[in-house]
Amino acid sequence: MGRLPMHGISRTAEIDLSGEWQFRLLPHGAWSTAQVPSLWTMHEETDRPHYTNVPMPFDEVPPQVPDDNPTGVYRRSVELSPQAGRRTILHVGAAEGLLRVSANGQDLGTSTDSHLAAEFDITDAVRAGSNEIQLTVEKWSAASYLEDQDHWWQSGLSRPVFLYTVPEVRLADLSVVADYDPEAKCGALDVQVFTTGLDHLPESGWTVRIGVLGQTRTTSVTPRLIAPTLPTPADARSVRPEPMLPAGFSGLLGLKAAGAPLEEPMRQAAEMIGRYAHPTERPGTAAFALDDLVVQPWSAEIPHLEELSVELVAPDGGVADSTTVRIGFRRVRIEGRDLLVNGERVLIQGVNRHDVDPRTGRVLSRETMLAELSLLKRFNVNAIRTSHYPNDPYLLDLADELGFYVVDEADIEAHAFMATIPHDPRYLPEFLERVSRMVLRDRNHPSVIIWSLGNESGYGANHDAAAAWVRRFDPTRPVQYEGAIATDWHGGHGASDIVCPMYPHLDALKAFDGDRPVILCEYGYSQGNSAGGLADYWELFETLPGLQGGFVWGFKDHGLDPDGDGRYRYGGDFGDEPNDGPILLYGLVFPDLTPKPAFYEARGLFSPVRVAAEGDTLTIRNRQFFADLSAYELELRVETQHGPGPSRTVPAPAVAPRGEARLPIPDDLLKHIADALALTLTVRTRYDSRWAPAGTEIAVHQVTYPRKPWAPPYGIARNDEISHPLLLIPPRLSLWRALTDNDRAFSLDNRFVRSGFFDLTPIDGGYRTAWGEEVVHRRTIRQVGDADWVLSENVKLPEDTEDGLRVGMEFILVEGFEHARWTGLGPWENYPDRRSSALLGVWESMIDELAVPYIVPTENGGRGEVTALELSGPAGTMRTAHTPLHMTVGRHTVAQLEAADHWWKLPPSSVTVVHLDVAHRGVGMAHLGPDTRPEFRLTATEYAWEWRLILSTETR
Ligand code: GAL
């Protein structure tokens, strides 16, 4: 009895137990029904989602469990017709909480780890006919302290539950090392097949047959040496380490101290080792080694998979059990400061991905997983860190197939008690279990290139023990753990083969001279309107030795929408106290997978292609390490002063990995270049794939040309102010933007609030700030024609101004403007420090679509380098012209954006609010990471510029 050992064999559901179960939430709930899988916190009024980052949501210390412990009881009957000689296994994909399993009233065991499956052999508890299965999930347990990740606390069953049957004598586990030698360009296979159930049968005559690459091999099953009983700490020292007994353990068990407190955890650790290394049943193994194989290697760029079939053959020749596994030949090595995949120092263009879905909380359908990974592929992401727990095994199947490098992370985050838990031997067995069960489950996936011991749990002996186990058990992959290197990038060798810091500053990266690869486990913080400076990191990754990329924090916002009304909730919205508010809204995509502008920035940086121009020739560089560019086609388009000009689509030139090729600009385009703003190169897929149909745009790059300087036209000076029926509020000075999460960062020391620029009171010759300081604003106006003016602005800020958010003009147009057209950077939102992928051209959009609906409203929708803007609609037309300005056009004022705490709470508005700024601050990542660079801050105190405004009530 008890939970079965973890294995890497994927078994097919024979009886799917998804659907309606009887459900009761103790202590007070009555019986009703619930869907499985689902989280009760998403539908039960008495126990709602609760968001905390660091603190535990209750006041206890490990391993105490709070008295108030909501417990969900799931019960259903299932018709079974057991077959002689077969065992029935219950698979619970993931239970958030402590799981207790019973069948027909008989207890079968318990399990913890909310993100790994638990399996139970229910054969002896069930009978032919109707049977009752009960799954009880206790929300809190001693293990909760290891699941203190920064996301919603939820409870229930989040992955599928099903039954399958296996023969008594069967395949128990499988280990496949599919190696690729990049120098000899050949593959080698090391297959170990573990069987179980042979105990009481004659040992001879059983064989295992494998089939792979058109070859078949057979070998006999040999029994493994086993210890007769489970080792105890006392006799652990006498247990001879076998190949499967991990290095770290013998030492640990040898440690067995006199003190009683260690007795129990040590016994458990020994028992666990016993389960893996010395199963109680007599295991049989069959080993295969195949060399010099002619194979195509696997990589994220070319994820070539082969199928390996495994059959357990009885002495009479019958196939007793069988399975197949998809394998990929590849080699992961660390050599000095380089992490090599198939000999290449690949760049990790990764994201941190959580299991999260706005409607279900954390229950993800296969369609959602495919949609997420397809989107990542289309944005040139090549790596995923499964922050901060193992994902559904299907996600790894997809990663193998679509091509991602995966950092597979164990479900360990002891954030609130990081000072004690990693040193606490009572938690040692859980550390070992969580890490080893993940490795046992996932070791055959080519996509998994690195094991991670978890997140933000301090650093202690429990980590070193887990790392030692992994290194011995799977020497083919490195281990990483951020906590090990957090305080010293030169340290932590006991638990990390990689220097994997979070949110490091650029100077620290530049200055670091270590002896291991540096791959950032988190960077590029994207909460709200953020991720300014992503390109600066990439400049370092592409040029400095030892730096190999990292994982953006993070992929998807955790906003929840349980009712499906489009009103995303964050911390506190469920009455959850204490909470960390909107800190979990840091996605490159919104909860519904709509990409945010920052994701387009990343897409360009991660593009397989770079382009440069010299005269009438383009240089196309292939950034990939294994693939040529034949999978893409390129569209070249001239951006004229009047809009998109002529274009041509050509297959990408043959460019070897990391190579370059020259591409002459076709003559029919060349003749338009003299007058052009830019030449745009759109990269599209050439063939259908599982993640995108042929013709999907995956990146757009540009070569830009010098712009003609703007000269204001002649006009007659006048000294009255501007008024016009289309102007609800005429142009006035604006120095404030609705603060972003980064603008509020602790490290920015409240400097913007201290400036007092959020409240300007008009006085003679300028304004008074909220703190009574004077801002001088001088304007001269020249009349060019009817409702056609040139405005010369001069602004002097108080002498002690150290920094600012914006300097520019704001005006509000009456209702009746719908459409925008501008010459400048677009089409998506961009800011001075987040525009390496933005494109110069003439862009059009509905005004309503210019805003970016960050769940917490802040400054949004900006576009830089704008030299002309035209807004039109039934009310009339407004046009501006100027040297490059930063524009923001939307429906809401700064004050309205600041007053609302959710986008969906913004008041309806149909006026048009226009900002044209001569200076606008970068957005940076100061909330967690570096502030915007000095050149994108507003440190000047005097600004002068001119602009032209033309209004007409005639409609176009
Ligand atoms: C990191 C942590 C993440 C998340 C992030 C803030 O320190 O690893 O889980 O909390 O900060 O969004």
Q: Output the CA 191–ligand 1 centroid distance in Å.
A: 38
Q: Does the pLDDT of residue 256 top 50, yes or no?
A: no
Q: Does the pLDDT of residue 273 top 70, yes or no?
A: no
CB atoms within 10 A of CB 15: 14
Q: Output the CA 150–ligand 1 centroid distance in Å.
A: 6
Which residues lie across from 96 on neighbouring strands? Answer: 156
Q: What is the pLDDT of residue 65?
A: 94
Mean pLDDT of 59-88: 96
If one residue of 51, 53, 552 were mutated to test the ligand 1 pocket, choosing by the most ligand atoms within 8 A of its CB, it would be 53
Mean pLDDT of 929-939: 96
Rg from Cα positions in the chain: 31
Q: Does the pLDDT of residue 240 top 50, yes or no?
A: no
Q: How many whole angstroms separate alpha carbon 38 and alpha carbon 95?
A: 10
Asked if residue 53 has its Cβ within 6 Å of ligand 1, the reply is yes
Q: For the segment 453-466, what is each residue's pLDDT rounded down to a tens digit? A: 999 999 999 999 99
Asked if residue 833 has its Cβ within 6 Å of ligand 1, the reply is no
Question: Which ligand 1 atom lies nearest to the CA of residue 54?
Answer: 10
Q: For the segment 24-51, what is each residue's pLDDT rounded down to a tens digit? A: 999 999 999 999 999 999 999 999 999 9
If one residue of 389, 455, 522 were mutated to test the ligand 1 pocket, choosing by the most ligand atoms within 8 A of its CB, it would be 522
Mean pLDDT of 47-65: 95
Confidence of residue 272 (pLDDT cuts 50, 70, 90): low
Q: Output the CA 549–ligand 1 centroid distance in Å.
A: 18
- Which carries the bigger pLDDT value, residue 593 or residue 284? 593
Q: For the segment 799-851, what is each residue's pLDDT rounded down to a tens digit? A: 999 999 999 999 999 999 999 999 999 999 999 999 999 999 999 999 999 99
Q: Does the pLDDT of residue 236 top 80, yes or no?
A: no
Q: Does the pLDDT of residue 85 top 50, yes or no?
A: yes
Reported as half-sphere exposure (CB side, CA atoms, 13 A), residue 347 has a value of: 22
Nearest by Cα to 617 from 561, 569, 664: 664
Asked if residue 150 has its Cβ within 6 Å of ligand 1, the reply is yes
Q: Is 592 exposed, middle or buried (0-12, 13-18, 19+ CB in 10 A)?
A: middle
Phi/psi at 624 (nearest 5 deg)?
Answer: -80, 165
Asked if residue 553 has its Cβ within 6 Å of ligand 1, the reply is yes
CB atoms within 10 A of CB 594: 13
Confidence of residue 284 (pLDDT cuts 50, 70, 90): confident
Q: Is omega for the bond preceding 388 within 30 degrees of 0, making it cis?
A: yes
Q: Output the CA 554–ligand 1 centroid distance in Å.
A: 9
Quick one: what percent of the chain has pLDDT higher than 90? 90
- Which carries the bigger pLDDT value, residue 868 or residue 239? 868
Asked if residue 580 has its Cβ within 6 Å of ligand 1, the reply is no
Reported as half-sphere exposure (CB side, CA atoms, 13 A), residue 611 has a value of: 28
pTM of the model: 0.94
If one residue of 150, 352, 556 were mutated to test the ligand 1 pocket, choosing by the most ligand atoms within 8 A of its CB, it would be 150
Q: Is 920 exposed, middle or buried (0-12, 13-18, 19+ CB in 10 A)?
A: buried
Nearest by Cα to 578 from 57, 45, 41: 57
- Residue with CA closest to ligand 1 atom 2: 150
Q: For the segment 524-579, what is each residue's pLDDT rounded down to a tens digit? A: 999 999 999 999 999 999 999 999 999 999 999 999 999 999 999 999 999 999 99
Asked if residue 389 has its Cβ within 6 Å of ligand 1, the reply is no
Asked if residue 455 has its Cβ within 6 Å of ligand 1, the reply is yes
Asked if residue 551 has its Cβ within 6 Å of ligand 1, the reply is no
Asked if residue 919 has its Cβ within 6 Å of ligand 1, the reply is no
Q: What is the pLDDT of residue 914?
A: 98
Asked if residue 299 has its Cβ within 6 Å of ligand 1, the reply is no
**Contacts of residue 472, Cβ cutoff 8 Å, sequence gap at least 6:** 246, 247, 248
Asked if residue 581 has its Cβ within 6 Å of ligand 1, the reply is no
Q: What is the pLDDT of residue 279?
A: 42
Q: For the segment 850-861, what is each residue's pLDDT rounded down to a tens digit? A: 999 999 999 999
- Residue with CA closest to ligand 1 atom 10: 150
Confidence of residue 270 (pLDDT cuts 50, 70, 90): low
Nearest by Cα to 451 from 460, 437, 459, 461: 437
Question: Which ligand 1 atom lies nearest to the CA of residue 149?
Answer: 9
Asked if residue 522 has its Cβ within 6 Å of ligand 1, the reply is yes
Confidence of residue 909 (pLDDT cuts 50, 70, 90): very high
Asked if residue 503 has its Cβ within 6 Å of ligand 1, the reply is no
User: How do strand 50-52 and strand 151-153 relate by DSSP bridges?
Assistant: antiparallel
If one residue of 502, 553, 746 were mutated to test the ligand 1 pocket, choosing by the most ligand atoms within 8 A of its CB, it would be 553
Average pLDDT, the chain: 93
Task: Report which residue type is found at 908.
Answer: P
Q: What is the pLDDT of residue 246?
A: 32
Nearest by Cα to 754 from 797, 697, 707, 789: 797
Mean pLDDT of 372-384: 98
Asked if residue 586 has its Cβ within 6 Å of ligand 1, the reply is yes
Q: Output the CA 391–ligand 1 centroid distance in Å.
A: 18
